[in-house]
Structure 1
Amino acid sequence: MIQMNLHQVAAIVGGSLVGKEARIQGVEIDSRADCQGKLFVALKGARVDGHAFCQQAANQGAAAVLVSSAVEVDVPQIICEDSLQALQALASAWVKQTGVKVIGITGSNGKTTVKNMLYSVLSQNNQCMATQGNLNNEIGVPLTLLSISRSDDFAVIEMGAAQLGDIEFLTEMAQPQMAVITNVSQAHVGRFGSQDNVAKGKGEIYQALSAQALAVINQDSPYAVQWKQGLQSPFITFGESVESDYRLFENKEGYAIKTQTGDVFSVKLPVLGHHNYLNACAVTAMAMSLGVKAEEVTQGLMQFTPESGRLNLMKLSDHLQVIDDSYNANPASVNAAIDVLKNQAKPTTLIVGDMAELGHESVQMHANVGNYAISNGVDEIWAVGEFAAAVCQGHEAQCKVFDQVETLVAHLQNKKFEHGTILVKGSRSMKMERVVNAIVGGDKQ
């Protein structure tokens, strides 16, 4: 984590130091957390202003506070124009000081999985840190960068976007030596206006790379040609296309990857889904370009820890299993989950909640989910939320509609699943883990 004297911090952020010199070790924005020896940064939010909690942070051991206006507090304070911009500037400066190799990851789907896979691979023989949880925005990324230690070899940074310009800003802050876009789909299309705009927004990560960096590009993406144009940096590709530098393919043993040098090795993962093997292909391209050996890649991929709620398979009995994919949902990730479900033990049941942020295309995209599920042999659908009826349109005999999760959970009290496979998925706002808990109860193995 960052270690720096206050006068150095003040110089970086263009602020004024009031009080005695001190040395900070780490940064915190939550006054309720352990602030011992750290710099507390007072941020103004929509509902809470951190400036009101500076003394609380001091009581929690903060060595100093960074504020946009002077406050009454028992520890030194650095007063600047904008504490959020100061946090971001400090993060960017700290990254340069550490000399760590930063890898930036963005995309519509698979960001967190790729991050976790790459972290596992790089950690085999290196000191590596990675984004924790969902700290992938204009606040989370600088906090992650400030947690880098000088002893770290690599930092794997996940980047999210709410609008055009966000990824460019985060990339310029983090200054990655390597970057990848996992894929582009209709996730967040309601915010961006179109999938093309999503691709443009994600593509900012490549455009902001320096000439010394490396772009890792999904050759299978319809936007691959667009992303390659105007690059300052060199690039390599991954995917199932024969033109890919790192190519995923299936053989008698399962999945294998052919590398840029023509070597081939098998890949096994502790997680379901063809799409996750594509994620592994991206990780292989990145890791081997960083000098990691093939055996370290395969070992790291086998050992990586999937996030909770992302295609986690739970066997409730010899005849019944639940796939918890409740963490989030968008059209592409729901289709990928259905591709997993169709190959599982029957009868198969898809319990799906609303997909958020799809804008004017919401009804059609939810209808597409129902069509895709039935056309791929899913036996039954339970749809919940505002767009549940759209999911079930034309498939009423095989589909149940619930207006809210609480109603669905209540219905589960009278429903006994005895065999087959149940997959649960929905956007984060739907909190579909409540459905998983209702099904699993105390019988989770």
Structure 2
Amino acid sequence: MKLTLHEIAQAVGAKNDIGIYKDAAVHAIEFDSRKIETGDLFLPLKGERDGHDFIPMAFENGAVATFSEKTIDLPHLLVDDCLLAFQKLAQYYLTKMRVDVIAVTGSNGKTTTKDMIASVLATTYKTYKTQGNYNNEIGLPYTVLHMPDDSEKIVLEMGQDHLGDIALLSRLAHPHIAIVTLIGEAHLEFFGSREKIAEGKMQITEGMDSDGILIAPADKIINAYLPDNQKVIRFGPNEEIFMTELTETKDSLHFKTNFLNTEIHLPLPGRYNATNAMIASYVGKLSAVSEKHIKEALAHLDLTGNRTEWKKAANGADILSDVYNANPTAMRLILKTFSTIPRNKSGQKIAVLADMKELGEKELEWHGAIVDSLDPDQIDRVILFGPLMKALAAEVAKRYPQGKWQYFETLDQLDIMTECIKEELGKNDQILLKGSHSMHLNKVVESLEKYS
């Protein structure tokens, strides 16, 4: 970081005089006192514990100063609200560094699309991106304040749990290009309807300038929330940007677009990933990245882990792992992809599906409806896991013969289910695992990779 304590104090409106410490350079800002190194500024946040309790530890580890909501006998910046000061500082830093901001949100695909955009832009510009899932009111400013000081582009993922979350992040980041990938059913428990989810996602335009560009799907549910003062680019069949000649194999996608003269090759399955790559290609084109570099970047992707990814079981079986999160739209999409992939010779196709969380009062109905994406002629066996999957189990029982499906209801049956999968998994089989992160299917994947 290129900031002194004095500059930080001015940016956040600190209420005290930092005196002899004003010219001290701040190397980084951390809210975990264990990560503090010499020259860092500590941010004490309030959670299960009050971060102010860890201020002494932060100084033991080398902190040059700390934010504080009360006067203390250590170098500090006195503020009314540490989190608000943190956000103000990130907003100031983005303006100071004159970096171009690209923001991405959506019910599905936002992390993958963020990674793809960053890969494309990095061929031509110094580019930084949201690390992991740091996409909320703490994670986004943390990302901003940790970007290298020579950054020219920053790609920020924006998540929401409640209405207004993305409006706050947009006003903080002031994106020039904003992307909405898809409106699905994520966090229905908090929003109640897709319309409310759409309203929240479309608040990504709240902080955009009048010359900003919004890229959004051709979904009529968002039409009521389209901005009047920004350029809007819609994607989808017969829209302003679209794909042509899309072909899919087990582990790759190939397609053309109406705005590039080259074919894109993507080392990922899932037609939804072709849409994500098309969006990334268009952002590259808007940013004057050459078609050659766009193609090369997408052909050699480095994606955040636990998204759609082929892995190998220790016995040779193919694992399609998609265990980071789940909602009905995402589950239907991955089941469609899995269903259309050709079987291995003499192998079975097995779907392991776990609970989808935060779907609200209709959660059992949403789970049961997944049966429409399960065809015994395309997916041979179904294994269901979690109390909410009881609704889908009742529907699967009507469609699959006994012995072709199993149901494990309680979370403490994870190990039992894993052993049953191992016993039945053949070396030529293909197995899909999909569920919310809290269902721990990643442990099943890891176990399958290691057993012999």
Q: Could you say which TM-score interval applies, normalised by the shorter chain?
A: over 0.9
Judge conservation of contact 1:35–1:58 (CA < 8 Å) in 2.
no
Give the Cα separation in 2 of the matches to 1:380 and 1:354. 17
The amino acid that maps onto 1:382 is I
TM-score by length of 1: 0.92
Secondary structure of 2:375's aligned partner: helix
What is the CA-CA distance between 1:134 and the residue it aligns to? 0.9
Report the equivalent of 1:409: 415
State the 1:375 CA deviation: 6.7
Which of 243, 247, 251 is 1:248 aligned to?
A: 243
Say whether residues 1:435 and 2:444 are aligned partners. Answer: yes
Question: 1:424 and 2:426 equivalent?
Answer: no
Amino acid in the other structure paired with 2:438: S
Alignment of 1:214-363 (within 5 A): 214-219=213-218, 221-228=219-226, 230-239=227-236, 241-244=237-240, 246-250=241-245, 255-260=254-259, 263-316=260-313, 320-344=317-341, 345=343, 346-363=347-364
In 2 relative to 1, CA 394–252 (structure 1 residues): closer, same or farther, beyond 3 Å? Answer: closer
Aligned to 1:174: 173
- Amino acid in structure 1 at the alignment position of 2:224: Q
Q: Distance in 2 between matches of 1:251 and 1:216?
A: 21
- Contact 1:405-1:432 within 8 A present in 2 as well: no
Partners of 1:407 and 1:77 in 2: CA distance: 50
Aligned match of 1:191: 190
CA distance in 2, matches of 1:212, 1:363: 44
Partner of 1:123: 122
Name which of structure 1's ranges 430-439 and 316-325 shifts more when overlaid on structure 2.
Answer: 316-325
Alpha-carbon distance in structure 2 between the residues aligned to 1:384 and 1:120: 35
Q: 1:321 and 1:158, CA in 2 relative to 1: closer, same or farther beyond 3 A?
A: same
Paired position in structure 1 for 2:380: 379
Distance 1:163 1:412, change over 3 A: closer
Give 1:334 deviation, angstroms.
0.7
Residue 189 of structure 2: SS of its match in structure 1? helix
Could you give the per-residue CA deviations for residues 55-102 of structure 1, whole angstroms, max 9, x where no partner exists?
2111111111111112343xx210111101000001000100000000
Given that 2:326 and 2:435 are in contact with CA atoms closer than 8 Å, whether structure 1 keeps it comes out as: yes
Q: Which amino acid aligns with 1:256?
A: F
Residue 389 of structure 1 deviates from its aligned partner by: 1.4
Counterparts of 1:134 and 1:209, CA distance in 2: 22
Question: Equivalents in 2 of 1:164, 1:257: separation in Å?
Answer: 36
Report the aligned-residue RMSD.
1.9
Deviation (angstroms), 1:370: 2.7
- The answer to whether the 8 Å contact 2:314/2:448 transfers is no
2:11 aligns to what?
A: 12
**Deviation string, structure 1 residues 388-426 (Cα, Å, up to 9, x no partner):** 211111322332110234424224325231132111111
Distance 2:160 2:302 in 1: 25
The aligned amino acid for 1:277 is A
Aligned to 2:90: 91
- Taking the aligned partners of 1:231 and 1:169, their CA distance within structure 2 comes to 20
**Matches of 1:209 and 1:376 in 2, distance apart?**
49
- Contact kept? 1:24, 1:37, Cα under 8 Å: yes
Post-superposition Cα deviations, 1:335-373, rounded to whole Å, max 9, x if no partner, equal 111012112325211111100000111101111123322
Partners of 1:28 and 1:35 within 8 A in 2: no
Q: Deviation at 1:13?
A: 1.2
Alignment CA distance shift 1:408-1:310 (3 Å): same
* SS of the residue 1:96 aligns to: helix
- Give the deviation of 1:316 after TM superposition: 3.3
Q: Which amino acid is 1:425 matched to?
A: K
Residues 112 and 252 (structure 1), Cα distance of their counterparts in 2 relative to 1, 3 Å cut = closer
- CA contact under 8 A between 1:100 and 1:154: conserved in structure 2? yes
Is 1:400 the counterpart of 2:406? The answer is: yes
What secondary structure is seen at the aligned counterpart in 1 of 2:179? strand
| Deviation sequence 1:33-69 (CA, Å, 0-9, x none) | 1332111111111x11111111211111111111111
Match of 1:36 among 35, 38, 42: 38
Unaligned runs of 5+ in 1: none
Distance change >3 Å, CA 83–CA 298, structure 1 → 2:
same
What's the CA shift for 1:439?
2.2
Deviations 1:269-321 (CA, angstroms, capped at 9, x unpaired): 12110000000111111111111111111111111112322121123379621
- TM-score using structure 2 length: 0.91
Specify the SS of the correspondent of 1:393.
Answer: helix
